[in-house]
Chains A and B, each alone.
Chain A
C-alpha cells in the first residue's frame, strides 16, 4: 500500500512524514519522527507504555493509526520539559520519589499523569490509582509512582505558573 504524507503537530512543532494508512501512531512517532520515548509493551491496548496526549486527551498510540491523528496535536514525553530544558514537575518527582526502575513504562506513565493532573489537579490516592490504571508497571508496585504524582500535584498547585 502506498505511503502518503501525514502531517500533525507534535510537541508544538508541525511535522510531516510519509506513512501507510495502516501505520500505527506509535510507529509513526518512533520510526518516522525518532521520538522513541513512547514504547510498545503489549500490542493490545492493555499496558499503556505507548501513551501520548492526543488533542488534550491521553490515548494509547498503538491503538490509533497515524492517519487518524492527521492534523491533531500530539504531545509525547519528549515534549513535557520546558524549551530551556527545565523538567516538568512530574519528571522531577518521579526521580525524587523513586517512581521508576527499568524506565520502560515511565514515559507513558508520566504522560498519562500529566493529563490526569490537568483533569484533576488535586487527586486523592484512590483517584490517582484509578487515573493511571491504564498503565502497567512491572517494577515499582506503583506505590512510589503514586507518591511521585501526589508530590508533583502539590508542587504544581503551590507554584501556579509551573503548571504547563
Chain B
C-alpha cells in the first residue's frame, strides 16, 4: 500500500468492521478436515461408556461387575465405591450444589450415570455395559415441580436432607433448593390492587434441550511421567474447566491443559462439567492411558443439560388506556435431581428479572422457587443469556394477554409502553441499567415493512370467511419485541465459582506485519476466527487475512470465561479492541521515533500513522511492526505485543422486533409459518453475513422450541422422546424462509459499540411464534395455550373452542 492508494480502498483491503468477510474456518470444514473431539486418536487410547439407570428413582442394592470384566477388551468397571476414596463420587456444580459423578446408594433420574466401563474400544465397552448387573429397588418418583413441594412428597436428596441452608439461602422443604427474589413486593401489590385492569396468566416454558449436532465428549490423557493431564473436550469454557478440574483433583493448575478443539455446536449444552469428563480423567489416571468418552444422542438428550422447565405465574396491572403500572411474577423452577444450572453465582435464576422487557414499568416483583425432581440436571442457557428466553417469553405473552383484556392491538400496546429513546440509560424496576435503545423506531420499521395494518385487514377478512365456512384455516399474527441482556459481565456482579466473568485477548504482532490473537473464548460455530480478526484489523490496520485468531487451549490462551450467553462479542470482542489499542499506542511511539516527530504530531488513519497536516509523511503498521523488532528505540522495549483483560462496565442490551404470520389448519392442528420478519438491533455490526447467519439459525431453533421440542417424563420417571425420532429438530422442509432486517443503536460503553446477536433470535423468536398461534384464535376468546404448539395441542385448542362441529 503506498500513499497514492485512496483511504477507502485501503480500508476495504483490511476487511475490518462491517465487512461481510468470508469465513476462514470454512476451508477445513467443507473438506472434512475439521478436528472435533471424536476425531482425536491417541496411541493406546481406551474408550469409556456408561451403565445408566433405567429408573427415575431407585436404591442401588448391589452392582455386579464380574460378567462385564470377563468381556474381552474390558479393563475396568468404575463405580461410586471406587471414587469415594478419591472423594470424587460427587462433584461441585456451577450452582453451588453437588452432583453425583456415579450414583452413590441411589439413582435420582432415568439415565443417571451408575458405572463407567473402560475398554480397548467402543464396541467392547458397549458389550461390557450390557453385562454390568445392577440390583435396584424402585422408589416413588416425582417429576412435577409442584408435587415435589407437597408435604408428603418423597425425599429425593438424602445426601443433603439435613441442610436447612442451601447455596442461595434457606430451604423450606426437603425438595426445595432456594427462593430468590427481586423488586418491590409491597409496591407491586399496591399497584395491582389499585389497578384499573389486571391480567393474569400461568405460563409454562417446557423442558427442552440444546441438542447440538455433536454430542458431548472428551479425551483425557494423564502423562504420568511428567505429571501433566491433558483433556480435549467439548468445553464452552475451557479455562473454567481447568480451574474446576484442579480444585477437585488436586492436580496443580499448571499441570492441567484443557483444549477445546472444533466444537460441533454448543447452544449452552457444553458449558457444564459432566460425569463423563470426570470419569474419563479418573480412568486415564488409573490406567495411565488416554481415555475417550463420547455420549450418544439418547444419552445427550436424557442426561446432559436440559433447559427451561420454568412454570411462571404472572399478573400485570394497567390503566384502562393501556399504560402498564406494575408486574408480578412467581416462578416454580424445576432443576431436576441436582442443581447444576449454569448461572452466575449471585443469580440462581439467571437474569430472569429482565422480565420487565422493553417496557417502562414503574414497579415489579419477581420470586423464584427452585425445586428438585427426578429429572436430569442442567438448566443451561439454551441459546440465550441466563434465563432470558424464559423472561422474554413471559413478558411478551403477558403483554398479549393484557392486550386481549384491554381489547387493544398488541403492537399498539407495546408502542404505548416502550421505554423511550431519551430515557436511556434506563434503570428498570428490577434493577438493570439498559445501555441504549430505540424501540419505537424499530417497531415502526417492522410494522411498516410487513404491512401490519394490511395483515390485520386480511385477518379480519379471513375470520369472516371462516365463519361463512369458506375456509378451515385461521390466520394468526404474532408480534414480539424483546430486549436481551448479554455480555456477562461486570465482575462486581457476575462470577462463576468465584471466577470473575471478564474476558481476555493477547496479541502478538509479527515483524512482517501479521499477527496472532489469542482469546479466552471458544467458537462453536460463531466464526470467531473470522470476526475477531475483523475487529483487530480495524484497530491495528493489518489485513484480517494476516491475523490468526486462536482460542481454546489453556496452555496458550489467556484466561477467560468462555463462550455462552452471547458474551463473546460484548466481552472478548471488547478485550480484542482494547488490546489492539494498546498495540496502536506503542506503534504510535515507534512511528514518532521513525518519523522524528512528537507522538502528538501523529494521527491514525486506517493502516498507518501520519504526520498531522502532512499525510505524505507516514509509517504503515507493517513498517512499524518491522521496526519494533529490528531497531533499538530509546525508551521503548522491542517487540509489539499486548494483553487486555476486559471487565465490562455493564452488560449490553440488544433488542429487536419480530413479526410472524401463521396459518392454522383447525382440522389437523398443522401450522404453516407463512412469513417471519426479524428486525435485530445488535449495535455496531461486525460482519453482516455472520449476523444474518446467526439470526437464521436462532430463529430455526426458536421454531423448534415453540412448535415441537419437549423433553417430557411420564409419571414413573421415564424420559419420553429422547431421540431424534421424537425430539423436534426441523429439517429444511419444515423451516420457512426468514426475512431479516436491522437498525443500529450502538452500545455506549462498548469500545466498538457492538452488543452481540447470537441468541437474540431465540429470545425473540419463541414468543413471536407463540403469540401468532394464540392470535389465530384470539377472536374466539383464547388468551394463552401451552407450548409446544405441535399438531395435537393446536388441534386441542380448536376442539376446546368448538371448531370441530
Q: Do A and B touch directly, given a CB cutoff of 8 Å in the complex? A: yes
Given the complex of chains A and B, what is the CA–CA distance between A71 and B697 in angstroms? 40
**Min CB–CB distance B78 → chain A (angstroms):** 24
Contact between B32 and A78 (Cβ–Cβ < 8 Å)?
yes
Q: Which residues of B contact A43 (CB under 8 A)?
A: 296-298, 723
Contact between B732 and A138 (Cβ–Cβ < 8 Å)?
no
Proximity bits, B693-705, A CB within 8 Å = 1, else 0: 1101111110000
Q: Which residues of B contact A44 (CB under 8 A)?
A: 297, 723-725
Interface residues of A in 97-114 (CB under 8 A from B): 98, 100-107, 110
* Interface residue? B611 (CB, 8 A): no
* Interface residue? B735 (CB, 8 A): yes
**Min CB–CB distance A4 → chain B (angstroms):** 15
Contact between B30 and A102 (Cβ–Cβ < 8 Å)?
no
Proximity bits, A1-44, B CB within 8 Å = 1, else 0: 00000000000000000001011000100110011111111111
**Majority secondary structure, B binding face:** loop
Contact between B213 and A136 (Cβ–Cβ < 8 Å)?
yes
* Interface residue? A153 (CB, 8 A): no
* Interface residue? B256 (CB, 8 A): no
Contact between B33 and A39 (Cβ–Cβ < 8 Å)?
no
* Interface residue? B286 (CB, 8 A): no
B31, B41, B263: the one contacting A102 at CB < 8 Å is B263
Question: How many chain A residues touch the partner (CB < 8 A)?
Answer: 59
Contact between A133 and B525 (Cβ–Cβ < 8 Å)?
no
A40, A101, A105, A135: the one contacting B693 at CB < 8 Å is A101
Q: Which residues of B contact A31 (CB under 8 A)?
A: 41
Proximity bits, A40-60, B CB within 8 Å = 1, else 0: 111110110100000000000
B31, B527, B690, B699: the one contacting A77 at CB < 8 Å is B31
Q: Which residues of A contact B29 (CB under 8 A)?
A: 100, 103, 106-107
A138-B213, A138-B697, A141-B699 in contact; A110/B30 too (CB < 8 A)?
yes
Q: Which residues of A contact B23 (CB under 8 A)?
A: 95, 98
Proximity bits, B309-330, A CB within 8 Å = 1, else 0: 0000000000000000000000
Contact between A102 and B214 (Cβ–Cβ < 8 Å)?
yes
**Min CB–CB distance B644 → chain A (angstroms):** 27
Given the complex of chains A and B, what is the CA–CA distance between A107 and B732 in angstroms? 16
B41, B211, B690, B732: the one contacting A34 at CB < 8 Å is B41
Contact between B22 and A141 (Cβ–Cβ < 8 Å)?
no
* Interface residue? B212 (CB, 8 A): yes
* Interface residue? A145 (CB, 8 A): yes
Q: Which residues of A contact B31 (CB under 8 A)?
A: 37, 77-78, 80-81, 87, 91
Given the complex of chains A and B, what is the CA–CA distance between A12 and B262 in angstroms? 28
Given the complex of chains A and B, what is the CA–CA distance between A47 and B189 in angstroms? 50
Interface residues of A in 116-142 (CB under 8 A from B): 128-130, 132-142
The chain B residue sitting closest to A34, CB to CB, is: B41
The chain B residue sitting closest to A49, CB to CB, is: B213
Given the complex of chains A and B, what is the CA–CA distance between A139 and B701 in angstroms? 8
Contact between A103 and B34 (Cβ–Cβ < 8 Å)?
yes
The chain B residue sitting closest to A41, CB to CB, is: B213
The chain A residue sitting closest to B34, CB to CB, is: A103
Interface residues of A in 136-159 (CB under 8 A from B): 136-146
**Which of A34, A47, A96, A102 has the largest number of chain B CB atoms within 10 A?**
A102
Contact between A77 and B32 (Cβ–Cβ < 8 Å)?
yes
B36, B123, B699: the one contacting A20 at CB < 8 Å is B123
A39-B214, A101-B527 in contact; A142/B700 too (CB < 8 A)?
yes
Q: Which residues of B contact A139 (CB under 8 A)?
A: 213, 265, 525, 693, 697
Proximity bits, B15-47, A CB within 8 Å = 1, else 0: 000000011011111111110101101000000
What 5 pairs across the A-B complex have the smallest Cβ distances?
A: A37-B32, A102-B525, A103-B29, A104-B264, A141-B696
16 contacts between A and B (CB under 8 A): A20-B123, A46-B723, A49-B213, A94-B26, A96-B22, A103-B25, A103-B264, A103-B525, A104-B36, A106-B34, A137-B213, A138-B211, A139-B525, A140-B697, A141-B697, A144-B696
Residues of B within 8 A of A (CB): 22-23, 25-34, 36, 38-39, 41, 122-123, 211-215, 262-265, 267, 296-298, 524-527, 689-690, 692-694, 696-701, 723-725, 729, 731-733, 735, 737-738
Known: A46-B725, A102-B213. 7 other contacts (CB 8 A): A23-B123, A27-B122, A46-B723, A100-B29, A106-B30, A140-B693, A140-B697
